Amino acid sequence: MNKITHIISLALLCLACTKTYLVRESTTTLPIKEKEVKTPLQETPVETTREIFADGVAAITATVDIARDHAIADALRKAIERGVGTFLDSKTLVRNHILLKDEIYSKARGYISSYRIIDEGEEENLYRVKVLAKVKVANLKDDLEAIGLLLREKGRPRIMVVIKEFREGSERWDKRVIEFSDIETMIIEKFAEKGFPVVDAATVKRNLRVEQIRCMLQGDNKTAALIGLKAGAEIIVTGKAMLSEEEKSIPYAQGARRFYQTKINCRAINTETAEVLTAASITKDLPFSEESSKREAAEEISRGLIKDILGKWQREENVTQIYIAGAEYSEILKLKSNIHKKIRGVSKVIQRDLTGDLAILEVLSTTSSQEILDDLGSIDLGVDLKIKAFSGNRIDIEIRKPSWRAPESGP
């Protein structure tokens, strides 16, 4: 009996000790290092920026400047091919070589953020360059530096903004409508942040009339394009902003609050062609402040407009129409060939019309119509031409004939 009692007492003592130990452990604070769990993305981080050396070469067939441009383009293409190789395996690159060439070239402006020429020079009939290119795979809209490069190569389209504010149910068309609105200013700020040059307020005000604004805001794209051209803009963003406010009751809140609504409808128009590049609309309904409602609506619609405009300018070439007077067929052929060979940035020249001595050439280029005009006036293109007029993407020229004088008769 004593032995059994002794065993039970010993067991109870052990339990008591164990219980005390558990209590101490549960109340003791110790630093605990959690095991770090890496996602596949963390284990193999995606390289978003990479500097790549690449060599480019081009034959000197016309001028050294044109060969240099082609050599730089060749080097940048090679840098891009190496950069996108981080996303595609070698088998895919080889198997789809032709397709990838087209895709790479069409998206080249989105991959090159900047580049620096390390070495360049002529070698016999070739021009060679070595570049250090910063290849980026980040989305174009998130890279201000790349956007700036794109805009420079496309002739830096100048933006004009005409968006007028009205109170819901009351549209007043008087001289006050010419004044800058808050939303115009906010949208201009967003375009300027992204590297777009914008038409200044004084120029906008000087070129606007009340009736013109009414026509534009009612959907007249030709009037909008003409106003933009007169102010020196390549793209005009125009539309209406309707403002309203009302008291609204909010669930789980005491009383009602005043809400401010901003509704913007606008479109971006290419002033050279009156083509609508993109259109957008947005409605913001926010409490507390009309200014915050305006700003949120303006910023969101600006992001959409900028994205769409950049997409258009990235995909499309500039089109310049040259109207030629006094032309013969042989002169048109010579002019067409020399424009393609000798003017920088020209990818294609198309003959659109030839009626009598009047002809139209359409020039596709990565440069602006202004740059095409400058080269027409300064480069020998094999014909004697005189520039008569320039507006938007249209250039009017005249081909002059050599003067002929009858021989003087003898005495």
Output the pLDDT for position 85: 60
pLDDT band at 32 (very low <50, low <70, confident <90, very high): very low
Residues of the chain with CATH 3.30.1660.40: 49-138
User: Could you count the other beta carbons within 10 Å of the beta carbon of residue 213?
Assistant: 19
Q: Which residue has the higher pLDDT, 346 or 10?
A: 346
Is residue 57 pLDDT above 50, yes or no? yes
Is residue 111 pLDDT above 90, yes or no? no
Q: Which residue has the higher pLDDT, 67 or 411?
A: 67
Is residue 13 pLDDT above 60, yes or no? no
Output the pLDDT for position 4: 54
Q: Which residue has the higher pLDDT, 311 or 12?
A: 311
Residues of the chain with CATH 3.30.70: 318-399
The answer to whether 96 and 87 are in contact (CB under 8 A) is no
Query: pTM of the predicted model, to two decimals?
Result: 0.52
The answer to whether 187 and 143 are in contact (CB under 8 A) is no
- CATH number for 318-399: choose from 3.30.450, 3.30.420, 3.40.50, 3.30.70: 3.30.70
pLDDT band at 156 (very low <50, low <70, confident <90, very high): low
Output the pLDDT for position 287: 85
Question: Which homologous superfamily is 159-315 in?
Answer: ABC-type transport auxiliary lipoprotein component (3.40.50.10610)
pLDDT band at 168 (very low <50, low <70, confident <90, very high): confident
The CATH classification number of 49-138 equals 3.30.1660.40
Is residue 24 pLDDT above 50, yes or no? no
Output the pLDDT for position 147: 44
pLDDT tens for 181-226 read: 899 999 999 998 887 888 888 888 887 888 888 899 889 999 999 9
Query: What is the spatial distance between Cα 79 and Cα 59, in angstroms, rounded to a whole number?
Result: 20
Output the pLDDT for position 316: 63
Adjacent-strand bridge partners of 88: none
Output the pLDDT for position 112: 80
Query: What is the spatial distance between Cα 31 and Cα 33, in angstroms, rounded to a whole number?
Result: 7
Is residue 30 pLDDT above 60, yes or no? no
The answer to whether 66 and 375 are in contact (CB under 8 A) is no
Output the pLDDT for position 404: 52
Residues of the chain with CATH 3.40.50.10610: 159-315
Query: What average pLDDT does the segment 137-164 reach?
Result: 59
Return the H-helix or E-strand segment holding 201: helix 201-206
pLDDT tens for 40-51 read: 333 334 446 778
Output the pLDDT for position 120: 93
State the Cα angle at 70 between 67 and 73, rounded to 5°: 150
133: exposed, middle or buried (Cβ count in 10 Å: 0-12, 13-18, 19+) = buried
